[in-house]
């Protein structure tokens, strides 16, 4: 296992972190605790020392599971990360309430890396007004948390604003070779690093999509002198960035844990050759050819008067076609557009065909027709 230092945190952190959002499940949908515990402890026994969970994962069962799985001396071997549920915070008192509940669920007195979860503009404005930075200062001072950070899902301008707003230790962003200009992107990654923040990366394999052995993509990877699996290519691309401290993998099977732990032995920064980096550009170009709806994500079409998250609907639709993975994309569509964060659905099927979005679209896309396709693809 390789380790990297986070500038504002003393310990070396394993370049592979164990993400507890996609744990193995039983037939009834509950966490397969025996198998998941074995996976987590195997990872720790083989050098993983960063474990990431959050309040809503697995319908609220991830944190309690992690608390149980880390008993027997494993808690002392890891740096534990979890997140303040931003969308549930209505007052300053709520912040303390949820943190104290999380400490109890995790069976620990201190959370090593505590994140403000899933920040976007509405969440950030609400939390700022309620005094979230004072809360973080107080929680650090009284020992309930050691390091403060945030995870992020919005544009680069807001990312820079949040980075500059507080003495954060780290930021967590979605980053992979397909998402280098998505949300915070490379620009945000480099900006945060220059400000002294550590970077934790989520979705390095895009929820497993970049691990798929796709015809047309397979042939590009085979041109490399060194043969690697799609999973290794994806992880190595992220690890190649020296700004990145930890790469989270949401492993759901024992073989994935074994594979990722082995790959983390060679995830050195700046280790990919120019020829290898060129292949990533070719793979990305080939995957982008599979895009059905040419939406640029500029968001001039929103807010929709009927609540449709138009760019996100198009992104999910394209995602399913690009990676030939309708089942997983349908699950993500249901979760993220079904009100997982704010309790309000934003499905394509809510479109009333008023046409306001098309008047504002700089690409002159037939948005209403595209939304019909999305609705038919995912269902109501």
For 196-210, how does the pLDDT look when each residue is reduced to its tens digit (9 = 90+)? Answer: 999 999 999 987 888
Residue 362, pLDDT score: 75
pLDDT at 42: 98
What value does the mean pLDDT of the chain take? Answer: 94
Give, in degrees to the nearest 5, the angle at Cα 319 between 318 and 320.
90
Angle at 233 between CA 227 and CA 236, to 5 degrees: 120
The secondary structure element, H or E, covering residue 100 is helix 92-105
Q: Residue 148: phi, psi to the nearest 5?
A: -110, 140
| Least confident interval from 23-27, 124-128, 199-203, 298-302 | 298-302
Q: Single out the residue of 147, 131, 154 nearest to residue 341, CA to CA.
A: 154
pLDDT, average across residues 234-253: 96
Residue extents of the structural domains in the chain: 3-281, 310-378
Q: For residue range 47-103, what is the model confidence (pLDDT) as tens digits?
A: 999 999 999 999 899 999 999 999 999 999 999 999 999 999 999 999 999 999 999
- Is residue 288 within 8 Å of residue 330, measured between CB atoms? no
In the chain, what percentage of residues exceed pLDDT 70?
99
Distance CA 167, CA 289 (A): 41
pLDDT of residue 47: 98
3-281 topology per CATH: TIM Barrel (3.20.20)
Q: How far is CA 7 from CA 147, 245, 265, in A?
A: 12, 10, 22
Reported as type and span, the H/E element at residue 161 is helix 156-163
Q: What is the mean pLDDT of residues 25-34?
A: 93
* Strand bridging mode 111-119 / 198-202: unpaired
pLDDT at 291: 87
What are residue 16's DSSP bridge partners?
Answer: 247
Distance between CA atoms of residues 146 and 103, nearest Å: 13
- Give percent of the chain with pLDDT exceeding 90: 81
pLDDT value of position 343: 77
Task: Kindly report whether the peptide bond that precedes residue 303 is cis, defined as omega within 30 degrees of 0.
Answer: yes
* CA angle (86, 90, 94) in 5-degree steps: 80
Helix, strand, or coil here: 126?
Answer: helix
125-148: pLDDT as tens digits:
999 999 999 999 999 999 999 999
Please tell me the distance from the alpha carbon of residue 240 to that of residue 249, in angstroms, as a whole number.
16
Interatomic CA distance for residues 102 and 80, integer angstroms? 12
Contact 281, 342 (CB under 8 A): no
């Amino acid at each position: 296992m390789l380790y990297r230092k986070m500038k504002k945190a003393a310990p070396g952190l394993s370049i592979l972190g164990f993400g507890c959002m996609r744990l193995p499940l039983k037939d009834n949908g509950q966490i397969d605790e025996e198998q998941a515990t074995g996976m987590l402890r195997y990872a720790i026994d083989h050098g993983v020392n960063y474990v990431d969970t959050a309040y809503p994962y697995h319908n609220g069962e991830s944190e309690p599971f992690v608390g149980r799985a880390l008993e027997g001396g494993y808690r002392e071997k890891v740096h534990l990360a979890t997140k303040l549920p931003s969308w549930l915070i209505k007052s300053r008192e709520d912040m303390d309430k949820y943190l104290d509940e999380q400490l109890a669920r995790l069976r620990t007195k201190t959370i090593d890396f505590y994140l403000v979860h899933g920040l976007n503009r509405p969440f950030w404005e609400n939390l700022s007004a309620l005094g979230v930075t004072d809360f973080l200062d107080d929680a650090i001072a009284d020992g309930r948390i050691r390091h403060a950070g945030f995870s992020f899902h919005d544009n680069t301008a807001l990312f820079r604003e949040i980075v500059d707003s507080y003495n954060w230790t780290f930021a967590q962003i979605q980053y992979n070779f397909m998402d280098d200009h998505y949300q915070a992107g490379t620009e945000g990654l480099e900006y945060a690093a220059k400000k002294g923040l550590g970077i934790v990366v989520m979705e390095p394999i895009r929820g497993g999509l970049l691990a798929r052995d796709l015809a047309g993509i397979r042939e590009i990877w085979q041109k490399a002198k060194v043969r690697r699996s799609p999973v290794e290519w994806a992880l190595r691309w992220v690890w190649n960035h020296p700004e990145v401290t930890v790469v989270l993998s949401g492993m759901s099977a024992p073989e994935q844990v074994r594979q990722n732990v082995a790959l983390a032995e060679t995830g050195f920064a700046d280790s990919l050759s120019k020829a290898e980096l060129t292949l990533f550009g070719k793979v990305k170009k080939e995957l982008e050819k599979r895009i059905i709806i040419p939406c640029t994500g500029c968001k001039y079409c929103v807010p929709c008067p009927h609540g449709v998250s138009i760019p996100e609907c198009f992104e999910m639709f394209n995602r399913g076609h690009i990676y030939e993975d309708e089942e997983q994309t349908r699950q993500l569509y249901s979760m993220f557009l079904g009100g997982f964060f704010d309790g309000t659905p934003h499905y394509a099927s809510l479109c009333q065909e008023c046409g306001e979005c098309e008047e504002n679209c700089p690409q002159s896309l037939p948005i209403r027709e595209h939304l019909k396709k999305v609705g038919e693809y995912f269902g109501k």
